[in-house]
Amino acid sequence: MKKIATASVFLLSFITFVGIQSAYAAPTAYIDPNTGGMLFQILAVAFTLLSGVIFFFSSRIKMGFARLMRNFRKGEDNAQETAPDNE
């Protein structure tokens, strides 16, 4: 049991030492000058893809939304018809 405790203390101190050293070794607040351009290119492709999918499936999206609203209204009508009158 003593060997396990000694090994775990050694391992914990080693991990702490390595973690502190890596935190000081990392450059602080450095951003590559072309990161904004890369980000713009990625977001432009993602936006184009998303708008294309929406345009391509627009009729299906409208039909599904109309069906959802119709089912929602039908559920409300059924609930009003089955509600007991308190008069």
Q: Tokens in use for 36?
A: 């904004």
- Under a CB-based contact definition with an 8 Å cutoff, are residues 39 and 46 in contact? no
pLDDT bracket for residue 83 (50, 70, 90): low
Q: Summarize pLDDT for 33-43 with one digit per residue, the tens.
A: 788 888 899 99
pTM above 0.75, yes or no: no
